[in-house]
Chains A and B, each alone.
Chain A
Amino acid sequence: MSLFKTITDKPWERKGIIGGLKPEGAFDAPSEKIALSVFLVVASVVFSLFTVGYFVRMELPDWQPLSEPAQLWFNTGLLIISSVLFQWARNIANSANDKHLTAVFIGGGIFAILFIAGQLVTWDSLQDAGFYMTSNPANAFYYLMTGLHAAHLLGGLWVWSKSSIRLLAGREKSDVKLSIELCTLYWHFLLVVWLVLFAILSNT
């Protein structure tokens, strides 16, 4: 039911049960997925506002662009692999068999951990080269935005670790199916956020 149709309804005219068991206007998806989707919009607002701040601050005269290290390409590759593995795990979870499910799902998380480790190495190399947080606003934004992105990944890894323990404990696929689906959605979101951030950081 479209939003327009919903809000043009005349409730004083219609009596009786509308919508049967499912209340009219409810989404055909589990509540957890709806909540995650709303949260992703909230997280998008956070990243968008940092980006707006970045562009506004960039216009001021003391801004010195930071040339991002080439290692970020490698890190990006790790995050893409992580996302692909989560998608693979989701496909397995939705299929009839569950071959390799545990390995693929855990692998997805491990590549995300490698991505965070890669980001830390990049931070370290920038520090060694004298690009400190306080020396220029471009550096400060770099550390802040990459740090915030990594913090979101850490939050996802907490859920991933709980689901991994359940998988390793031999729980039924149905018990972790929703978790896998939500992790996959979250990882794809964070990949897109990273690609946008990377594009902005690299091109400014």
Chain B
Amino acid sequence: MAYVPLADRDHEMEMHHPHSWVEKYVWSQDHKVIAIQYGSIAVFTGIVGLALSLLFRMQLGFPDTATFIDPSFYYQAVTMHGMIMVVYLLTALFLGGFGNYLIPLMCGARDMVFPFMNMLSVWVFLVSVIILMASFFVGGGPTGGGWTLYPPQTNLAGTPGHDMGIVLMLISLGVFIVATTMGGLNYVVTVLQYRCRGLTMMRLPLSVWGIFVATILALFAFPALLVAAIMMLFDILAGTSFFMPAIIESGTPLDHNGGSPVLFQHLFWFFGHPEVYIVALPAFGLVSDVLSVHARKNIFGYRMMVWAIIAIGGLSFIVWAHHMYVSGMHPYFGFFFATTTLIIAVPTALKVYNWVLTLWEGDIRLNAPMYFAIGFIFTFIHGGITGLFLGNVVIDLPLSDTYFVVAHFHMVMGVSPVLVVFAAIYHWYPKMSGRMFHSGMAKLHFWCTFLGTYAIYLPMHYLGFLGVPRRYYALGTTDFIPQSAQDLNTTITIAALFVGASQLLFFINIIWSLRYGPKADPNPWGAASLEWHTPDTPPSHGNWGDSLPTVYRWAYDYSVPGAREDFIAQNTPETEEPTVDEQHFDPDQDKSLADA
């Protein structure tokens, strides 16, 4: 039993052709439909997360104005916002959404290796979201123990949602991990085994590399969350004491005895830190491709970009305890984790340099996706540099419980990946829908989002330096928090409401354009990678018509000297390379034409 080349298995893919509307759009095994299903469910969940954030920002900006936001609701909203955004929106959208859509197309395959399992993955993901949402409707409401779900806090009667809320959250996470594992196995095996003829690993676009390595991280990191969730469920439902220590609740000793809350923290963050890169690495890959295409230049340092993705992926497993400095640890451990944390900045900085150098002397086209991609470079540098502060134990300790941390992680893994999500959606929208979006509206959406999020998070750093604590429902009157801090909080809330409302520009644009947008050219940006060279736009079932593509070059042949166009598609044979007739080729004339 050996490997059978994809080209020789082509006939097998015919088996999955849909025969009815339900098979085509509901129980679909087509990776593109599954991608849109994954993306839609994730975005819907993300809208819930966004709405929750606006509600708790109301309490912070205008305390006690909205009477229904009591302390319990506040903590529940904060908790659910965090978990939804990190896991159910960003992870699902990058891996399930973009991974599903782009991997087979960029690999020149007709579909994923296991289409049925792929379909199962999205429906199991939906089940996990339904379980999560159900926690809003059970007695006690959803858990309010913070998105990190630390025991014993989460399981005690004083915490909202300590009964069914936390149980549903843990079950939902378990189901989500099953979905991610099914999807993840598909993505990894498809990249390894289903590349088309001539497509070596080093000819893959960086989008695929980012999603591929992030998927490996997800496969190895999510088990830690699963193990923690199972053990915590046993603590809650069966009365074991894996994590629950001896504790007295309202004067009554509980049955638990001797458990280790710090063990939970280790397990949680062994998942939690790679999770940052499960979100970041696909974003790195996608933004690299968007920058390269719209700068009309090959990505600077392709090999280094691949190495950096792999290095960041590996290092992300040995930095987790930097989230636990305040939990207390041996100074040598603190030193070790601070060192590894700072080392991870090296490959990350390398990527930033390469993005900037890709722009250097590029023929930059300021299309809407490029706005978001360049905006990402700003926000990512900003969030990354504050990460260097917090990676140091002595700086982290005083800042850890302040708004500085909130500002840091929202810049680095909130705003930055979301800007890439928008860049990628605008970039691939013409291919996915066959229509062009409204460019002006997309650029307005960028400025509202980019400036608006800066208006939210830049002042938050300041609040953090002042020592304003995070996680507080109400700050009250304290000497070290001046009135100006409260005014700043009000400003931040107004900015948050503005940013939240401005997202309507995005939704109106993409929904309106689906029907009324001008018909898109099959390759409107002049991109070289395979997905832009399908016979149909949007790609039909099976992607490639009668025959699979053959790849002759890497995905970044832009502005090649002597070439007729400023890109050469990956599937253009060397012998058929479109070149300008040398007898008539006049570089000066060519330049003046380009300038014109």
Residues of A within 8 A of B (CB): 6-12, 15-31, 33-35, 38-39, 41-42, 45-46, 49-50, 53, 56-57, 60-63, 133-134, 137, 140, 144, 148, 177-178, 181
Tier of interface size on chain B: 35 or more
Q: Which residues of B contact A56 (CB under 8 A)?
A: 260, 263, 266
Q: A23-B198, A31-B194 are in contact. Are A178 and B224 (CB under 8 A)?
A: no
Question: Measured between C-beta atoms, what is the minimum distance from B549 to chain A in Å?
Answer: 11
Q: Is the CB of A10 within 8 A of B197?
A: no
| Chain A contacts for B197, CB-based, 8 A | 17, 19-21, 23
Q: Tell me if B227 and A46 are in contact (CB < 8 A).
A: yes
Binds A, one of B137-145, B301-309, B334-342, B405-413: B301-309
State whether A7 touches B302 (Cβ < 8 A). Answer: no
The answer to the question of B362 belonging to the interface, with a C-beta cut-off of 8 Å to chain A, is: no
Nearest 5 pairs of A and B residues by beta carbon: A62-B258, A11-B554, A23-B195, A9-B202, A17-B198
Q: Do B3 and A49 touch (CB < 8 A)?
A: no
For B556, the chain A residues whose CB sits under 8 A away are 12
Find out whether the CB atom of B189 lies under 8 angstroms from the CB atom of A21: no
B binding-site residues for A, Cβ under 8 Å? 1-8, 113-114, 181, 185-186, 188-189, 192-203, 219-220, 223-224, 226-227, 230-231, 234, 238-242, 255, 257-260, 263, 266-267, 270, 298, 302-303, 306-307, 310, 550-554, 556-557, 573-574
| A177 CB contact (under 8 Å) in B1, B260, B298 | B1
A23, B115: Cα distance in complex, Å: 21
Residues on B with C-beta less than 8 A from A25 are 192, 195, 200-201
Q: List the B residue with the shortest CB-CB distance to A22.
A: B5
Q: What is the bound-complex CA distance between A40 and B248, given in angstroms?
A: 42
Pairwise interchain contact A181-B1, C-beta atoms closer than 8 A: yes
B31 to chain A, nearest CB (A): 15
Contact A21 B1 (CB under 8 A): no
Of A9, A19, A27, A57, the residue contacting B193 (CB under 8 A) is: A27
B227 close to A49 (CB less than 8 A) = yes
Report the nearest B residue to A33, measured CB to CB: B1
Contacts of A20 in B (CB 8 A): 197
When C-beta atoms are compared, the residue in chain A nearest to B7 turns out to be A21
With contacts A18-B200, A34-B189, A42-B181 known, what are 15 further pairs, Cβ within 8 A?
Answer: A6-B201, A7-B303, A8-B303, A12-B298, A18-B198, A23-B195, A25-B200, A35-B185, A35-B186, A38-B188, A45-B223, A49-B224, A134-B238, A140-B234, A148-B230
Which residue, B4, B189, B557, has most C-beta atoms of chain A within 10 A? B189
* Cβ contact within 8 Å between B1 and A140: no
Q: Please pick, from A34, A38, A181, the residue contacting B219 in the complex, using a CB distance under 8 A.
A: A38
Q: A17 contacts B230, CB within 8 Å?
A: no
**What's the minimum C-beta distance from B233 to chain A, rounded to whole angstroms?**
10
